[in-house]
Chains A and B, each alone.
Chain A
Amino acid sequence: MNNFATLRLLDRFAPLFRRAGIDYPMLRLILGMKLTMDTRRVPTVFAQSKVKEGKNYFIRSLWIYALYGLAVIPFLFIDDYFFQLSIIFGILMFILMTSMVSDFSSVLLDVRDRNMMMTKPVDQRTISTAKMLHITLYMSLLTIATTGIPLFVSLYVNGFGFFLLFLAELILLNFLILMMTALVYFAILQFFDGEKLKNVINFMQIALTLGIILGYQLVARSFQFTSLDVTFTPSWWQLFTPPVWFGALHEALLTGERSLFVLLLAALAVIVPVIAMILYVKMIPAFESSLHKLSTVEQGKEKRTNRLKQIFLRFIAPNQEERNFMNFSFAMMKNEREFKLKVYPQVGFTFVIPFLFMFTTSENGSFEALREGSSYYLFYFTLLVIPTVISMVKYSGAYKGSWIYAAMPLKDRMLIDRGLTKSVLVMFYLPAMLILTPVFIWIFSGRIWLDLVVIIATAILYAAICTLALNGKSLPFSQPFSVAQHQEGIKAFVMMLVIGGFCLIHVLFNNWAFGLEIYAVILLIAILIVWTLGFRKIRFDT
């Protein structure tokens, strides 16, 4: 339990921790326990409880980040430090920050540990540091996986100085991301309470994710492209875009740039992470003690049943048992804190990405050109939310409640999966559809109505496919959350590529007369088959 390579590495820094007033043996003990738990999968109600000494699932899922990281490599060959590093850090910050916000928020805001360890004579600071190190460890692994190959390439292409500086900046970036996220949550915890607090956290997650996307746009806009040259155009908002700071730091140190503004940006790259860290360390005790707010449950008010909603549900799920599972899924998804923490950032994406792309493409042309064009295929981006949500629904903080599946006289297993899939569509896809469809019709006019119908039909088909591919036999809300379920992100990622496939087919059919009508019919038949026979197949396999 306490012989992990990571811990032995950490041992070398023991004196440092001691000096910071942290009880090192205790810290090691707690981290060891966490790492042990990460290698284990808690057996579900139905699985045998064999102690399977597994690998760390998180580590096994890192290869995908190595793939993401390849995106950075082409930029290493550009001959302009400022530009190339701003873009590289833009990409890296995007990857790391989204992962931080959606995967590690729940670890950061964990209250279970508090209940377990607060009753023991352990210093609060030590518990928090252990938590922080736990996240840092995974963030570092993520960073190494993402940047390992680019770092090596840079060593050959850009030289040793560049490589070292890049490495140092990566460390600073990690600090920055970690501390920024923690400080944002800290601020929220200070100002809000009760149910509102939980909503604000989810809202903030969406905002953070959107902020990252927007920030990335700003980075690209910091540079002017003239035939062969890239020039930097200073602007006040660069003071708030960290990727540009890192670009400036490189520029300042490696080319000896002396412009005051660039020096200021470069200084920010170093100073802000350090200040954030000092602030964080100072605030740890207050942060932890305000976490208790999260465990306070407010008295529930009776919710009035919405008749319209009832009628709608009756329409899409005539079978009462299936409807029952839908309502159950709604309630679970609405109340599950960790689920929301992981899913909501993605929900933000769904709404914004189509417009972001339109915005970028319409840069070069007029609004008229956009309306005439075929940017409405961007509606396919709304499908992104489906695999993200579906890959998460088998987890729950209250997974132990899943004994009910075994104890209930269930007529048909299929109804569980179908009810669940429908509820995901209604809860996460329907709102996007209702809001975006009118907007799209407004932009592109009525000519695209059949295209939108096709895309929405695709969503319905795709949701079923996602359930089959991502969840297979696992029952909804029946497995505990852990850092390890990171692998889900990858499966979901692969499923996202499938969306591209659908889009391609759509484009192809659109080239023929009546192609779209034919495709719509094909989709309809496919929906009927997959939603009946496909779901039935799960049942037979179990």
Chain B
Amino acid sequence: MERQEVIRLEHVTKRFGDKLVLEDIDLSVYEGDIIGYIGPNGAGKSTTVKMMLGLVDGYEGNIFIFGENLKNQDHTYKRRIGYVPENAELYDSLTAQEYLAFIAGLYGLEEGSARVKAHRLMMKFEIDHAMHARLSSFSKGMRQKVLIISSLLHNPNVLFLDEPLSGLDANSMLIVREILAQLSAQGKTIFYSSHIMDIVEKISNRIVLISGGHIAADGTFDELKEQNQKGSLQDIFNSLTGFSQHKEIAEDFVAIVQEEPA
């Protein structure tokens, strides 16, 4: 069976002012893919995701989602998309319950059933006790969980997760990892970025590494291992981003920290 193409980037170039962030990116994503989108800080991962959601405009090239060019789409394609932003930014002064009800409403879900669903999901993440507390009192991990729930309430086909694991404890990370695996087995497409290499290594069926505005590697973990003759994704990441002297840098860093002021 031919898998449907869900996302296609064609010659996408993005600048902020005169700073080139992405240059001539081509990328196709198919139904059921779990794509681990990795790259150094500031490589343009979040920017890529934001472009696909229409948050960042002003790019060259074309982005197709569900086969339609974004430039010709209205808002309706977003009904089938879930998004977890990177900075855990949400409306702080609302309670978790109010926030989730609001998001569910934006996705056009029926209020009563959405409320029950949100509550049940919160129970699974063991944060239901904080249902009626303001989000501003939530810890980073708790906020992250609320965001993950809010991105899944409407059972989307495609998930964009920008560092979804940040702030989660080891157990919760295991749960989320398993959720992603199972969602993808159901045919959902997942496009996520993360810096936790051993998780990316284990759950992605495809890894895209972006560096210096270009795609530096694209393939399954096994393919990348073969091409680069390295044993772990961490090593591949280091070698592809041209990085080998972490020891020296750390030594210098500590030396500077310990310098006596002149």
Contacts and interface: CB of A to CB of B under 8 A. Distances in A.
Given A43-B136, A121-B75, A121-B78, A51 B102 contact: no
Given A26-B106, A119-B83, A120-B107, A42 B136 contact: yes
B106 A51 contact: no
A49 B142 CA distance: 16
A102 B102 CA distance: 29
A168 to B, nearest CB: 35
B106 A29 contact: yes
A54 B134 CA distance: 14
B240 interface: no
A299 B94 contact: no
A291 to B, nearest CB: 11
B126 to A, nearest CB: 20
B232 interface: no
A120 B106 contact: yes
A287 to B, nearest CB: 14
Contacts of B18: 299
Contacts of A122: 75, 78, 106
Contacts of B108: 26, 121
B98 to A, nearest CB: 5
Interface string B202-246: 000000000000000000000000000000000000000000000
Interface in B85-116: 85, 89-95, 98, 101-103, 105-108
B137 A49 contact: yes
A36 B132 CA distance: 14
B57 interface: yes
Contacts of A112: 89
Contact of A42 (B81, B92, B105): B92
Given A37-B93, A119-B83, A298-B17, A292 B136 contact: no
Interface stretch (B48-56, B164-172, B190-198, B250-258): B48-56
Contacts of B90: 116
A451 interface: no
A42 B93 contact: yes
A305 interface: no
A51 B132 contact: yes
A51 B134 contact: yes
A296 interface: yes
Contacts, number: 92
B75 A123 contact: yes
A115 interface: yes
Contacts of B106: 26, 29-30, 117, 120-122
A292 B58 contact: yes
A536 interface: no
A33 B93 CA distance: 10
A15 interface: no
Nearest to B154: A121
Interface in B124-178: 132-134, 136-137
B233 to A, nearest CB: 29
A271 interface: no
A120 B103 contact: yes
Interface string B33-61: 00000000000000000000111111000
Given A121-B76, A121-B79, A121-B106, A36 B94 contact: yes
A212 to B, nearest CB: 33
A41 B107 CA distance: 27
| Interface core residue of A112, A118, A298, A299 (most chain B CB under 10 Å) | A118
Interface string A110-146: 0010111111111110000000000000000000000
B248 interface: no
A1 B98 contact: yes
Nearest to A1: B98
A194 interface: yes
A118 B55 contact: yes
A486 interface: no
A40 interface: yes
A121 B106 CA distance: 7
Contacts of B259: none
A335 interface: no
Most buried by A among B19, B76, B91, B107: B91
A33 B91 contact: yes
Contacts of A224: none
B89 A116 contact: yes
Contacts of B94: 33, 36-37, 40
Contacts of B55: 114-115, 118-119, 292
A43 B76 CA distance: 36
B78 A37 contact: no
A296 B17 contact: yes
A36 B74 contact: no
Nearest to B56: A292
Contact of A51 (B17, B75, B95): B95
B19 A299 contact: yes
Contacts of A296: 16-17
Contacts of B74: 123
A25 B109 CA distance: 11
Contacts of B134: 40, 42-43, 49, 51
Interface string B11-39: 00000111100000000000000000000
A6 interface: no
Contact of B107 (A33, A121, A289): A121
Nearest to A292: B57
Contacts of B137: 43, 49
16 contacts: A26-B106, A26-B108, A29-B105, A36-B98, A49-B137, A112-B89, A116-B90, A116-B91, A118-B54, A119-B85, A121-B75, A121-B76, A121-B107, A292-B57, A296-B17, A299-B19
Given A114-B55, A120-B103, A121-B75, 11 more contacts: A33-B98, A33-B102, A36-B94, A40-B93, A42-B92, A42-B136, A49-B133, A121-B77, A123-B74, A297-B16, A480-B92
